[in-house]
Chains A and B, each alone.
Chain A
Amino acid sequence: GDSVTQTEGLVTLTEGLPVMLNCTYQSTYSPFLFWYVQHLNEAPKLLLKSFTDNKRPEHQGFHATLHKSSSSFHLQKSSAQLSDSALYYCALSEGGNNKLTFGQGTVLSVIP
C-alpha cells in the first residue's frame, strides 16, 4: 500500500535560516503529493501540490520538487519567518482513488 514518511517530528530553527522538511513516499502508481500546514487549533490548509511535469510549485515562499527517482517531495524555504511556526503534513493521493494518505507531520518551530 501507499505510505508517507516524515522523519522529523520537530524542527527548530532560528528566524532567517533556510527550512527543509523531509518527505518520502511509497506508492504503486504515480501519485500526487501535497503539503498541508496546520496552525494551532485550526484546520489544515493546502500549501503546495506537485505537478505532473517538472514544474516546481511555490506558495508563500515555500517550494517543493517531486523527485520520482528518490520518491521524495521535500518542503523548502530560503528564509524562515516566525509566522511559519506550525505543523506541516506531507500527503499522497494516488490517481484513481479518493484516499489521501498523510505522514505523521513535522512541527516547525521558528525562534527569534
Chain B
Amino acid sequence: AQTIHQWPVAEIKAVGSPLSLGCTIKGKSSPNLYWYWQATGGTLQQLFYSITVGQVESVVQLNLSASRPKDDQFILSTEKLLLSHSGFYLCAWSLDWGGEQYFGPGTRLTVL
C-alpha cells in the first residue's frame, strides 16, 4: 500500500528566515506530485506540480519554490519567509493525468 509522509508536522519560523518542507511517497512508482497551501479558513490552492524527477511546474507564485530531487520526494522551500506564508501545506499524489489526488497529513506553518 502507498504511504505519503510529510515533514515536519509543524513549524514556527520568523519572518525572513528560510524554509524547507518535505514530502515522500512510498509504494507508487513515478507518481505525479503536488504542493497545496491552505490559509486558515481558506480554500486549497495548488502551488506546484511535478510529473517526473527534475521537472516542476508552478501554478501560483507565492515567493516559494519546489524541487523534485528523487522520484519519491518533493521539496517546498523559500529563502525568506513572509507573514503571508503561514498556513497548512499539503503534499498530494496522483497516478493519472487529471485524476484524483491523495493528500499527505500536511505541515502547519506559523510565521511570526
Q: Which residues of A contact B (CB under 8 A)?
A: 32, 34, 42-46, 49, 89, 91, 93-105
Contacts and interface: CB of A to CB of B under 8 A. Distances in A.
Given A98-B32, A98-B49, A98-B51, A44 B98 contact: no
Contacts of B104: 43
Interface residues of B, number: 22
6 contacts: A34-B100, A98-B32, A98-B94, A102-B43, A103-B43, A105-B43
B62 interface: no
A98 B34 contact: yes
A58 to B, nearest CB: 15
B27 interface: no
A98 B97 contact: yes
Contacts of A101: 46
